[in-house]
Copies of this chain bind each other. A is one copy, B any other.
């Protein structure tokens, strides 16, 4: 498709939504992407870039000259322009900013002054703010008069003196109210205000909890400076919720469009940490070398104890990390959660201990059977407790429980499992 039959391709692409065009470019091989974009010409507009995967976009924009890139970002909403620019190298970023119109540039630079992943970076500056003494008719006339206004708004923000938000009004309410009613009679006074410094994950939880469509963003003085709309939140929820599986596995950002060298850098760090913790387990086993030399079957059975402990620990960990991320697990119910995991672990441990103990007794030896049963019950209970206590403790000290927990938990279950099994076997069997 890419070579030669450009006109056919154009005809196919023309009716597509920008998000679909962006998908098409992502699916093309890396070396074909620039040619494809050139061939599609004006079909690849600012909206398409806004929808593109960030790694793909970064590669494509690095190929453009700064002036073309500046034109492109000027056509975008501020929040999209910020998303494009924040991923670039400092140097490329400055080159593009220098080519932008002063007012666009000022808006983008202001947004970039907020911390990464904060409400200030994802908010839009185009919104409808009206003084509280207006009536419905005035609000509607104002919206009709200004042709430059964006179309993507769902609520009107009512502001008091000093531009402090005092209420919001849904467009549906506005439409259904007679013109002469004052806006402050129909506005909702309770609203969720988002400080510009708030982390986007917090913002997303607020949107979710209160089923918001849009929310006012305020600066440190409480003045209305922008709004966040739910369509941006959906992306953030997807990202943040999906991130945990990746963080728990140590796969970093884990995007399939991430360049190989970045994926390598993210993952190998984790593997090296894992190598370090595996050495602790190795050290524990090496203490029992004499026992293993005399009873090599222990070497064959010990991975079972470690594997099941690791698995039980990962289950408790995944549940706990998720509960923390969704604000369901807080100081108030921490001990209840620990108690719950303990009970689940006793049940799981007893079931597996009986199955494994009976199997080993049947095929090998009774004493070995109850030794491995006791070791696995112990290790599954330890795993359950570690699975909940490690992330809860990390969270309490302000660390992200998804990032470091699994190294700790696996280390605990491996060493405890090997120690309990080999230790008990040394005492009982030799």
Task: List residues of chain A with CB under 8 Å of any chain B CB.
Answer: 17, 19, 26-27, 29, 51, 53, 140, 143-144, 149, 151-154, 170-176, 178, 190, 204, 207-213, 230-231, 233-235, 237-238, 241-242, 244-246, 248-251, 254-257, 260, 263-264, 267-268, 270-272, 274-275, 278-279, 281-283, 285-286, 289-290, 292-294, 296-304, 306-308, 311-312, 314-323, 325-326, 328-330, 332-333, 336-337, 340, 343-344, 347-348, 351-352, 355-356, 380, 410, 414, 418
Min Cβ gap A300→B in Å is 4
How far, in angstroms, from A208 to B286 measured CA to CA in the complex?
53
Q: A278-B308, A292-B299, A303-B282 are in contact. Are A144 and B347 (CB under 8 A)?
A: no
Residues of B within 8 A of A237 (CB): 234, 237-238, 241
Quick check: A306 and B303 within 8 Å, CB to CB?
A: yes
Residues of B within 8 A of A344 (CB): 260, 263-264, 267
Quick check: A210 and B17 within 8 Å, CB to CB?
A: yes
Quick check: A251 and B318 within 8 Å, CB to CB?
A: yes
Quick check: A348 and B268 within 8 Å, CB to CB?
A: yes
Residues of B within 8 A of A210 (CB): 17, 19
How far, in angstroms, from A255 to B319 measured CA to CA in the complex?
6
Q: Which residue of B lies closest to A312 (CB)?
A: B271
Residues of B within 8 A of A153 (CB): 172
Quick check: B211 and A249 within 8 Å, CB to CB?
A: no
Min Cβ gap A370→B in Å is 17
Quick check: A323 and B213 within 8 Å, CB to CB?
A: no
Min Cβ gap A188→B in Å is 10
